[in-house]
Amino acid sequence: MEVQTPSTLFQTGILSPPVTTGSLEAFVGNTPLVLLRRVTAHLPAAVQVFAKAEWFNPGGSIKDRPALNILRVALAEGKLGKGKRLLDSTSGNMGIAYATFGAALGIPVTLVVPANASPERIAILKALGAELILSDPSEGSDGAIRIARQLAVEYPERYYYANQYDNPANWQAHYCTTGPEIFHQTRGCVTHLVAGLGTSGTLIGAGRYLREVSSKVQLVAVQPSSPFHGLEGLKHMPTAIRPGIFDESLIDLTIPVETEEAYQMVRRLAKEEGLFVGISAGAAAVGAIRVAERLESGVVVTIFPDAGYKYLSEKALWGFQDPVSS
Amino acid sequence: MAIIRIPTPLRPYTNGQSELTVAGETVGQVLENLVQQYPALRTHIFNENGELRPFVNLFIGENNVNDLQGVATPVEDNDRILLIPSIAGG
């Protein structure tokens, strides 16, 4: 795979020091790295597991990083502006990030979303002013991708097709922000990066950076154990449309996670760590702890992509029927 | 006989078929008959105790069967049952 230097991204300024005052975009990244304590109590003292708390981003998820970078690169290259609409398919979080910064920067956004996206996500997207095209829920994310591709071909004057699965600005955002943040926050001691695979942008981008600065870092992918699963946002790569940015050669280990164990971990993280996170964070924690259990010493970093708010309607996840009355 | 729509990730286990006509008077009976016809589907839909796995969402028309009577929800002839996957990737 040809790897291009993400110079455009540096020029557009996403890699910036922490700020306290500024435009919305200035608050993307520089998220906290939280030490897990109680769910890791069985591990040796010399093994630490940290989670990157990505819901601290303004749009509420890790997707702020790639969405903002994709927008900035497209603007810098003249592919957006003059009313042209940003078009992409999304399971929700990337769409929320596009819609957030689209609203802030005055760029109209059109999203193809499977019709079974949670009502919370659809409501957020509408509130942010995005135009939604709902795709057949039986066809899943791949069905949404196919519709977005078709629209991009049919209406090239109307849309800029951002194509998060194949757009190098996706992984480059993590190469320039997530990776360096992890390295500095662990004072260069990170030994393992464990992340779920959706577009694969997080693991490929942050992992590529960490490999360059520390060849010892192991890169571990978490993915659903089977093609039919409840790990929203994560892809079962062997049976899905393979993202163009996915570079399997970088990955040292892939850990399959069952939906049920991720659900259980989501509940534990809330009750035992005070971390109210989403389903993919639960899966990432399962993978990170599984890696940590094999170590005598090490610093394992994982990524918690979002908070639990958007999953409150998933009754089976929380173990109660009605979040209000139960 | 109900018509059950199979989502893309499960079609490898139904010889590629996207819709199947299956007998049963309740949602649970339809699913049981379905997995008897296509045994490779069983572990994807039911756990080892024979219960529906927690992420399996079933709809009759616009209605989630969890908001009806669950697997005891009656099924009429030609009802369309949708088996819905979660949303993957990005």
Predicted local distance difference test score (pLDDT) of residue A11: 46
Mean pLDDT of A154-176: 97
Among all residues of chain B, which has the CA nearest to that of A224?
B88
Kindly state whether residues A103 and A134 are assigned to the same domain: yes
Mean pLDDT of A299-304: 98
Among all residues of chain B, which has the CA nearest to that of A96?
B90
Instruction: Tell me how many degrees the CA angle A269-A274-A280 measures, rounded to the nearest 5.
Output: 40
Report H helices in chain A. 7-12, 64-76, 93-105, 119-127, 140-154, 168-173, 179-185, 201-213, 259-273, 279-292, 315-318
pTM of structure: 0.91
Classified as helix, coil or strand, A83 is: coil
Predicted local distance difference test score (pLDDT) of residue A10: 46
Chain B residues with a Cβ under 8 Å from any Cβ in chain A: 5-10, 12, 18, 43-45, 47, 53-55, 57, 66, 82-90
Count of H-run helices and E-run strands, chain A: 11, 10
Digit-coded pLDDT (tens) for A145-163? 999 999 999 999 999 999 9
- Average pLDDT along chain A: 92
Digit-coded pLDDT (tens) for A182-198? 999 999 999 999 999 99
**A3 is a domain residue:** no
At B9, list the tokens: 């990730």
Q: How far is CA B70 from CA A80, A231, A322, B29, B67, in A?
A: 48, 22, 15, 12, 7
Does pLDDT of A19 surpass 90? no
Beta strands (DSSP E) in chain B are 2-5, 19-22, 57-60, 63-64, 80-84
Predicted local distance difference test score (pLDDT) of residue A4: 56
List the domain range (segments joined by +) for residue A115.
Answer: 64-161
A61-70, A270-279, B78-87: least confident range: B78-87
Predicted local distance difference test score (pLDDT) of residue A119: 84
Kindly state whether residues A251 and A191 are assigned to the same domain: yes
Percent of chain A surpassing pLDDT 90: 79
Digit-coded pLDDT (tens) for A249-294? 999 999 999 999 999 999 999 999 999 999 999 999 999 999 999 9
CATH code of A289's domain: 3.40.50.1100
- Contact: B8, A138; criterion CB under 8 Å: yes
Instruction: Tell me how many degrees the CA angle A284-A55-A35 measures, rounded to the nearest 5.
Output: 55
Instruction: Find residue A94's DSSP bridge partners.
Output: none
**A4 is a domain residue:** no
Kindly state whether residues A192 and A306 are assigned to the same domain: yes
Digit-coded pLDDT (tens) for A86-119? 999 998 899 999 999 999 999 999 999 998 888 8
Kindly state whether residues A74 and A137 are assigned to the same domain: yes
Kindly state whether residues A137 and A244 are assigned to the same domain: no
Kindly state whether residues A70 and A198 are assigned to the same domain: no
A26-35, A36-45, A132-141: least confident range: A132-141
- Contacting residues of B for A235, CB less than 8 Å apart: 88-89
- Contact: A92, B87; criterion CB under 8 Å: yes
The shortest C-alpha distance from B66 to chain A (Å) reads 10
At A269, list the tokens: 């993280």
The number of residues making up chain A comes to 326
Kindly state whether residues A117 and A183 are assigned to the same domain: no
Kindly state whether residues A116 and A254 are assigned to the same domain: no
Domains of chain B: 2-84 (3.10.20.30)
Q: How large is the ipTM?
A: 0.88
Kindly state whether residues A280 and A235 are assigned to the same domain: yes
The shortest C-alpha distance from A198 to chain B (Å) reads 4
